[in-house]
Structure 1
Amino acid sequence: MLSLLTAALCLQPAWPQALPTLGHGESISLGAERQLGDRIARELYRDPDYLEDPVLDEYIQRLWAPLVKAAAARGELSPELQERFAWRILLGRDRTVNAFALPGGYLGVHLGLIAVVTSDDELASVLAHEISHVTQRHIARSMDDQSKMTPWVIGSMILGVLAASKSAQGAQALIVGGQAAAMQSQLSYSRDMEREADRVGYGVLSDAGYDPRGFVTMFAKLQQAAGVNDNGAFPYLRSHPLTSERIADMQARQQLSGNLSGNSSTVTQDLTQSMLAARARVMSNGNVDALKAWTQDSKINSPQATPTQQVGALYAATLAHLQLRDSASAERSLQSLERRVQDSGSEPAIRVVRLLKAEMAARQERFGAVLSLLLPSPPGTALARPELIAVAQALARLPPQPMRNEVIGTLRELVQQIPQDAQAWNTLASLLAAQGMTLPALRAEGEAQMARMDWTGAVDRFRAAQDWARNNRLAAGEHIEASIVDTRLRQAQTLVREMQTQR
Structure 2
Amino acid sequence: MPSKVIRRCWPLLVVAPLWLAPLAWSQSEPPPARGLPALGDGAEMSLSEERRLGDQIARTLYRNPDYLDDPVLHAYLQAIWQPLVQAARRRGDLPAELAERFAWEILLGRDRSVNAFALPGGYLGVYLGLIAVVSTPDELASVLAHELSHVSQRHIARLITRQNQQAPWVIGAMILGALAANAAKNVDIASAAMAGGQALAIQSQLNFSRDMEREADRIGFGILTEAGFDGMGFVTMFDKLQAASRLNDDGAFPYLRSHPLTTERMADMSARVPELGTGQRPAQAGPVTPYHHAMMAARARVLSETGADRLRAQAATLRQSQGPQQDATTLGQRYAATLAAARLRDAALLSEGLRQLLAAPPPDPVARQALDWLHLEALLLLPADALSPAMRDDFIRLASAAIASDQRPGLLLGAQAALRLGPDAQRQATQRLQTWTALHPRDALAWQTLAGLHQAQQQPVRAARAEAEARLAHLDAPGALDRLRAAQQLARQQPQVDHIELSILDARVRQTEALVREQARETR
TM-score, length-scaled by structure 2? 0.83
2:244 matched to 1:222? no
Q: Secondary structure at the match of 2:118?
A: strand
Q: Secondary structure at the match of 1:91?
A: strand
* Counterpart-to-counterpart distance in 2, 1:297 and 1:310: 11
* Counterpart-to-counterpart distance in 1, 2:102 and 2:170: 21
* Counterpart-to-counterpart distance in 2, 1:39 and 1:177: 28
Aligned to 2:388: none
Q: Secondary structure at the match of 2:143?
A: helix
Deviations 1:358-383 (A, max 9, x none): 01111114488544214239xx9643
2:220 matched to 1:198? no
2:166 matched to 1:144? no
Of 469, 472, 479, 2:491 maps to 469
Q: Secondary structure at the match of 1:100?
A: strand
Percentage of matched positions with identical amino acids = 47
2:512 matched to 1:494? no
On the 8 A contact 1:295/1:320 being kept in 2, the answer is yes
Aligned length: 491
Q: Secondary structure at the match of 2:183?
A: coil
Amino acid at match of 2:64: D
2:431 matched to 1:376? no
* Counterpart-to-counterpart distance in 2, 1:102 and 1:184: 18
On the 8 A contact 2:29/2:214 being kept in 1, the answer is no
* Counterpart-to-counterpart distance in 1, 2:176 and 2:427: 43
Aligned to 1:274: 294
Deviations 1:202-224 (A, max 9, x none): 10011111111111111111111
- Cα 1:171–1:236, aligned 2, differ >3 Å: closer, same or farther? closer
Amino acid at match of 1:212: G
- 1:345 deviates by 3.2
* Counterpart-to-counterpart distance in 2, 1:174 and 1:39: 24
Deviations 1:73-117 (A, max 9, x none): 111111111122121111111111111111111102111111011
* Counterpart-to-counterpart distance in 1, 2:515 and 2:109: 26
Q: 1:84-483 residue pairs with structure 2 within 5 A?
A: 84-149=101-166, 158=175, 161-167=178-184, 179-180=198-199, 183-184=202-203, 186-228=205-247, 230-258=249-277, 270-297=290-317, 301=321, 307-341=327-361, 344-366=362-384, 369-376=394-401, 382-401=405-424, 403-472=425-494, 473-475=496-498, 477-483=500-506
Deviations 1:411-455 (A, max 9, x none): 222222222211011011111222222222111101111212223
* Counterpart-to-counterpart distance in 2, 1:279 and 1:98: 17
Q: Secondary structure at the match of 1:24?
A: coil
Amino acid at match of 2:123: Y
- 1:180 deviates by 4.7
Of 39, 44, 68, 1:27 maps to 44
* Counterpart-to-counterpart distance in 1, 2:394 and 2:174: 49
* Counterpart-to-counterpart distance in 2, 1:304 and 1:191: 50
- Cα 1:269–1:256, aligned 2, differ >3 Å: closer, same or farther? same
* Counterpart-to-counterpart distance in 1, 2:323 and 2:221: 37
CA RMSD of aligned residues (A): 3.7
On the 8 A contact 2:114/2:129 being kept in 1, the answer is yes
Amino acid at match of 2:376: A
* Counterpart-to-counterpart distance in 2, 1:10 and 1:207: 24
- 1:387 deviates by 0.7
- Cα 1:405–1:326, aligned 2, differ >3 Å: closer, same or farther? closer
* Counterpart-to-counterpart distance in 2, 1:311 and 1:395: 29
- Cα 1:38–1:160, aligned 2, differ >3 Å: closer, same or farther? farther
Q: Secondary structure at the match of 2:106?
A: strand
2:19 matched to 1:8? yes
* Counterpart-to-counterpart distance in 1, 2:480 and 2:236: 44
Q: Secondary structure at the match of 1:107?
A: strand
Q: Secondary structure at the match of 1:134?
A: helix
- Cα 1:348–1:244, aligned 2, differ >3 Å: closer, same or farther? same
Amino acid at match of 1:498: R
* Counterpart-to-counterpart distance in 2, 1:197 and 1:424: 34
Q: Secondary structure at the match of 1:450?
A: helix
Q: Secondary structure at the match of 1:108?
A: strand
Unaligned runs of 5+ in 1: none
* Counterpart-to-counterpart distance in 1, 2:200 and 2:319: 46
- 1:297 deviates by 4.6
- Cα 1:471–1:298, aligned 2, differ >3 Å: closer, same or farther? closer
* Counterpart-to-counterpart distance in 1, 2:395 and 2:511: 35
On the 8 A contact 1:55/1:386 being kept in 2, the answer is yes
On the 8 A contact 1:400/1:435 being kept in 2, the answer is yes
On the 8 A contact 1:189/1:240 being kept in 2, the answer is no
- 1:301 deviates by 4.0
Deviations 1:479-499 (A, max 9, x none): 343233323431343245235
On the 8 A contact 1:459/1:492 being kept in 2, the answer is no
Deviations 1:108-167 (A, max 9, x none): 211111101122111111111110010011111122222324779857854653343114
- Cα 1:225–1:175, aligned 2, differ >3 Å: closer, same or farther? closer
* Counterpart-to-counterpart distance in 2, 1:190 and 1:211: 27
* Counterpart-to-counterpart distance in 2, 1:91 and 1:396: 27
TM-score, length-scaled by structure 1? 0.87
Greater mean deviation of Cα atoms: 460-469 or 193-202: 460-469
- Cα 1:374–1:172, aligned 2, differ >3 Å: closer, same or farther? farther
Unaligned runs of 5+ in 2: 1-11, 385-391
